[in-house]
Amino acid sequence: MTMQRFLSFPRHFILSGLVFGVILATTSISHAQLPMESNAQQSSVQMAQNVAELQKVADRWDEAVYQHDQYALELVLAPQYIDISDTGEVTNRDQQISEMMMKDAPHFQLTQKVVSVRMVGDVAVANGTYDRVFQGNKLSRTKSKTERGVFSQVYVRARNSWECINSQRTIIQEPVVKGKKKSADESNEKQLNHDLGFHFPGTHHSSSSDSGSGSTSTSGATSGSNSTAQPQQ
């Protein structure tokens, strides 16, 4: 249809056609947005449900540790459980329970807060934060201090509940010992005094103090070699 023939139509027909086209386009866009908004709402609701469900498991875990309850802890940790501490120490479930049941074991209160959960079938990956408050004990030679950090945990569905099969922690704040004042040098140090990677036994992480001592010993050896005895005339 040519432009002249299109303009030959009555004006009210042209305006009606344009209005109908705008209405049709607006309706199509609104219908396309509804499924997207609905999916986003469903995803948000599902995330909240998953977080609440795994938070109950984390609460049982915290209570079992505080009460030194072996049976309750075995219901939370899977038999294949592996724990990677903030220092890189790797232990399994039996070692965790054995250390907890020792008479001189440090007594602390653990508080874990689940922040996000990702689901892959019957596997859940939880991320969150934790506080670990140690109580002073002369028997275990521990001082009252507080540790704060983040964790990443993997859960598997078992017996209509969840069991943790892997856990890793990272400290984000140095332990604060009650009754101890920091010096000016300590307050200027970085918040984290170690790297965030794995620590393997047998490896040595060099520090500034080691490099300083090494340079001192080298200079001492050099001065010693230069101070040779002069031959008598």
pLDDT digits (tens, 9 = 90+) for 108-156: 899 999 999 999 999 999 999 999 998 766 655 667 788 999 999 999 9
Query: Residues 110-138, buried b or exposed e (16+ Cβ, 10 A)?
Result: bebebeebeeeeeebebebebbbbbeeee
Burial class (CB in 10 A: 0-12, 13-18, 19+), 90: middle
Residue 94 sits in a domain whose CATH number is: 3.10.450.50
According to the model, what pLDDT value does residue 19 have?
Answer: 56
Mean pLDDT for the chain overall:
74
- Does the pLDDT of residue 11 top 60, yes or no? no
pLDDT, tens only, 218-232 = 444 444 444 444 544
Neighbours of 59 (CB within 10 A): 15
> Does a structural domain hold residue 98?
yes
> Does a structural domain hold residue 187?
no
User: Do the bridges between strand 77-84 and strand 123-134 make them parallel or antiparallel, or are there none, so unpaired?
Assistant: unpaired
Question: Could you tell me which residue, 194 or 19, shows the higher pLDDT?
Answer: 19
> How many degrees, rounded to 5, is the angle at CA 73 between CA 126 and CA 50?
25
Query: What average pLDDT does range 78-94 have in this prediction?
Result: 96
**What three-state secondary structure class fits 153?**
strand
> Does a structural domain hold residue 117?
yes
How many structural domains are present in the chain?
1
Distance in angstroms (rounded) separating the CA atoms of residues 49 and 163: 17
Q: Looking at the whole model, is its pTM more than 0.85? A: no
> Does a structural domain hold residue 190?
no
Tell me the residue range of the domain where 174 lies.
41-180
> Does a structural domain hold residue 152?
yes
Question: Could you tell me which residue, 213 or 51, shows the higher pLDDT?
Answer: 51
